[in-house]
Amino acid sequence: MTTSEATDRQVQAISSDEDVVRVRQLVRTAAVAAKLSLVDQTKVVTAASELARNTLVYGGGGSAEVCRVLNGSRHGVRIVFTDSGPGIADVELALTDGYTSGTGMGLGLSGARRLVDEFHLDTAVGAGTTVAVVKWAR
Amino acid sequence: MDRLPILKIGSVLLVSIQIDMQDQMALQLQEDLGQRIVDTGCKGVIIDITGLDIVDSFVGRTLSTIASISRVLDAETIVVGMRPAVAITLVELGLSLEGIRTALNVERGLELLARSTEPDTADDLELFGDPETASS
């Protein structure tokens, strides 16, 4: 992860549909504060929505930490999703377009990765999953 | 749980999504629309997403499913009012919204439905040619 200053850190628990909506709203607020363009706001909120749903559905719930980051003069938004679910056995496969272990379209992880600038996935079977993403203002 | 209102205008059902929907609400809309199509015999459904500031894979899939359900029930679905930023994001996400017809706004959507649900217009007949002149 890029070394950067983090501000306005907020943590949202993810244990229901409503929490996914709350995560979207938190990310939207942070993206506006970081002066992301409308398209970039839309991209990062969409990515956050996919990842929050993954945390809920596949991770059995968890949390999202949203903060604004500053790297030099560059503003951005960082979101870290954490769950203590079953973890992902085959990361390569999970990141393949169209792969789904559940009822989704298989675009969650791979699609979210395309929508952000930085994407870090940390997982182990039985040890949960952490996904950290950053979207920088242009 | 809150439900999205479904309005009937002539032979068209109109849903305008103005809020950040929970997943459950999208699934409820799917069921409610199916029921309303059967109850009213409407041939067209317009879903206005002007108010949606994102369409993620779940909402996208729900829209596709609604279009498929409507088709099976002999109604056509048109999604209108997608914001440009949403369109850009959808494409990058990899969502193709298969089987969904779109129009820029409600007005255009209604025009599109009027054309496709009235097969007896002169335009459509021309496509098949006049049976009398075709045989001679």
Q: Is B23 on the interface with A (CB under 8 A)?
A: yes
At CA B45, angle to CA B26 and CA B19, rounded to 5? 35
**B53/A contact by beta carbon, under 8 A:** yes
Write the residue in B20, B21, B60 that is nearest to A25 by C-beta: B20
The domain in which residue B29 lies consists of 6-135
| Residue (of A96, A118, A117) closest to A108 by Cα position | A96
Distances in Å between the Cα of A75 and the Cα atoms of A7, A40, B82, B118 are: 11, 12, 28, 54
Domain count, chain B: 1
B48-103 pLDDT per residue, tens? 999 999 999 999 999 999 999 999 999 999 999 999 999 999 999 988 887 899 99
Is B1 among the domain residues? Answer: no
Question: Would you call B94 and A50 a contact, using CB atoms and an 8 Å cutoff?
Answer: no
* Residue in chain B lying closest to A17 (CA): B22
Task: From A70, A66, A68, A65, select the one nearest A5 (Cα to Cα).
Answer: A70
- Residues 6+ away with beta carbon under 8 Å from B39: none
Asked if the Cβ–Cβ distance from A46 to B61 is below 8 Å, we say no
The residues near B123 (Cβ < 8 Å, ≥ 6 apart) are: B115
Tens digit of each residue's pLDDT, chain A (138 residues): 555 788 889 999 999 999 999 999 999 999 999 999 999 999 999 999 999 999 999 999 999 999 999 998 899 999 999 999 999 888 888 888 776 665 555 668 889 999 999 999 999 999 999 999 999 998
Question: Are B53 and A28 in contact (CB < 8 Å)?
Answer: yes
Q: Could you tell me the strand order of the sheet in which B101-103 lies?
A: B6-9, B12-16, B44-48, B76-80, B101-103
Strand A62-71 relative to strand A5-14: parallel, antiparallel, unpaired?
Answer: antiparallel
Domains plus CATH for chain A? 5-136 (3.30.565.10)
- CA distances to A132, A133, B39, B51 from A38, in Å: 22, 18, 41, 15
Q: How far apart are the CA of B113 and the nearest CA of chain A, in angstroms?
A: 29
Q: What is the CATH number of the domain that holds B127?
A: 3.30.750.24
Phi first, then psi: what are they for A62, rounded to 5°?
175, -135
Residues with Cβ within 8 Å of B85's Cβ and at least 6 positions away in sequence, in order, are A38, A39, A41, A42, B53
**Which of B4, B22, B26 minimizes the C-alpha distance to B13?**
B4
pLDDT tops 60 at residue B136: no
